[in-house]
């Protein structure tokens, strides 16, 4: 019995010396991923070379301001002479902004009776983007429309649309070709306006809503159409694809509980209905 206590005493002393020497390194390979993709974090325990593999427990919390969530979690991983890097094996299933707070590393002594704990602070911020779906039918429609417009020998005109002012009709071309055409004005290339509103949605619908918004907005941007995005009390001018990370970061940090101001009610609004359809079906029906 005395020898058992002696072994335990020596083992605990060894753990405490390890605690003073150990350092935990956590690095992210990327800080922006797409919903459903795995999050890769490389975890290293430095300062001590272990003869045998040891199981560690890493305490952390996942916090999202947008989703109003804060959850405590524990990651178990093995580290030793054979292990060079432990991988964080978690998938991020829903879009949003996340902060991972790593707070403590725990491990047992050689007897398995005593648990040592080393507290530390490490924070990693992560943006999980919504999925984006292709809008192939709409692309084909625009291609056909552009090919038809390219048949004209004059720049700065387009086919007449219902609601165009008669004063804009190009009468000389009408007399010569018989086609009803109008002169383009600056308003024809004005940015599209889109409202982002989720105040009437359930949380389980958020991912589908943002996937629809991202797909539609991305399609417009691919066609060279810049946008003004209204959300909460903010407005974001979107001109190129590299801005999406900044846009979604601002959206997820905004208070979206209230609708966009009434002065922007003419902007495009995205309605995904009751959410029973898949996002592919919703976008397909919209394209029709």
Chain segment 100-120, per-residue pLDDT in tens? 999 999 999 888 889 999 999
The model's pTM is: 0.76
- Whether 205 shows a pLDDT value over 80: the answer reads yes
Across 64-68, 235-239, 274-278, the highest mean pLDDT is recorded for 235-239
- Whether 171 shows a pLDDT value over 90: the answer reads no
The better pLDDT of the pair 51, 258 is held by: 258
Interval 69-79 mean pLDDT: 90
Please spell the DSSP secondary structure of the chain, one letter per residue: -HHHHHHHHHHHHHHHHHHHH-EEEEEES-SEEETTPEE-EEEEEES---SS-EEEEEEEEEEETTTTEEEEEEEEEEESSS-S-EE--EE--S-EEEEEEEEEEEEE-TTSS-EEEEEEEEEEEEEEEPP----HHHHHHHHHHHHHHTTSSSSSEEE--TT--GGGB-HHHHHHH---EEE--GGGGPPEEEEE--TTS-GGGHHHHHHHHHHHHHHHHHTT--EEEEETTEEEEE-SGGGHHHHHHHHHHS--SSPPPGGGTTSEE---TTS-S-HHHHHHHHH-
- Whether 42 shows a pLDDT value over 90: the answer reads no
Q: How confident is the model at residue 153 (pLDDT cuts 50, 70, 90)?
A: very low
Across 51-65, 222-236, 237-251, the highest mean pLDDT is recorded for 237-251
Mean pLDDT of the chain: 81
- Whether 29 shows a pLDDT value over 60: the answer reads yes
């Amino acid at each position: 019995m005395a020898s058992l206590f002696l072994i335990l005493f020596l083992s605990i002393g060894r753990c405490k010396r390890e605690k003073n020497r150990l350092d935990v390194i956590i690095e992210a390979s990327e800080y922006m991923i797409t919903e459903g993709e795995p999050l890769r974090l490389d975890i290293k325990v430095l300062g001590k070379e272990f003869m045998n593999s040891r199981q560690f427990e890493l305490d952390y919390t996942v916090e999202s301001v947008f989703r109003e969530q804060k959850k405590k979690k524990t990651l178990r991983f093995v580290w030793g002479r054979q292990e060079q890097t432990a991988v964080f094996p978690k998938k991020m299933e829903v879009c949003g902004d996340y902060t991972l707070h790593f707070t403590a590393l725990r491990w047992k002594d050689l007897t398995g009776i005593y648990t040592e704990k080393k507290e530390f602070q490490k924070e990693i911020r992560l943006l999980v983007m919504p999925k984006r779906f292709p809008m192939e039918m709409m692309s084909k429609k625009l291609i056909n429309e552009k090919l038809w417009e390219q048949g004209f020998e004059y720049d700065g005109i387009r086919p007449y649309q219902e609601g165009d002012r008669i004063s804009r009709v190009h009468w000389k071309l009408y007399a010569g070709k018989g086609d009803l055409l109008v002169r383009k004005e600056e308003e024809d290339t004005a940015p599209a306006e889109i409202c982002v509103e989720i105040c009437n949605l359930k949380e389980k619908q958020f991912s589908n809503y943002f996937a629809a918004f991202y797909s539609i907005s991305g399609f417009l941007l691919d066609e060279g159409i810049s946008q003004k995005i209204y959300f909460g009390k903010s407005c974001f001018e979107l001109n190129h694809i590299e801005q999406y990370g900044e846009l979604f970061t601002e959206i997820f940090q905004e208070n979206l509980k209230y609708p966009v101001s009434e002065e922007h009610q003419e902007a495009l609004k995205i309605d995904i209905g009751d959410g029973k359809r898949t996002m592919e079906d919703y976008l397909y029906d919209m394209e029709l």
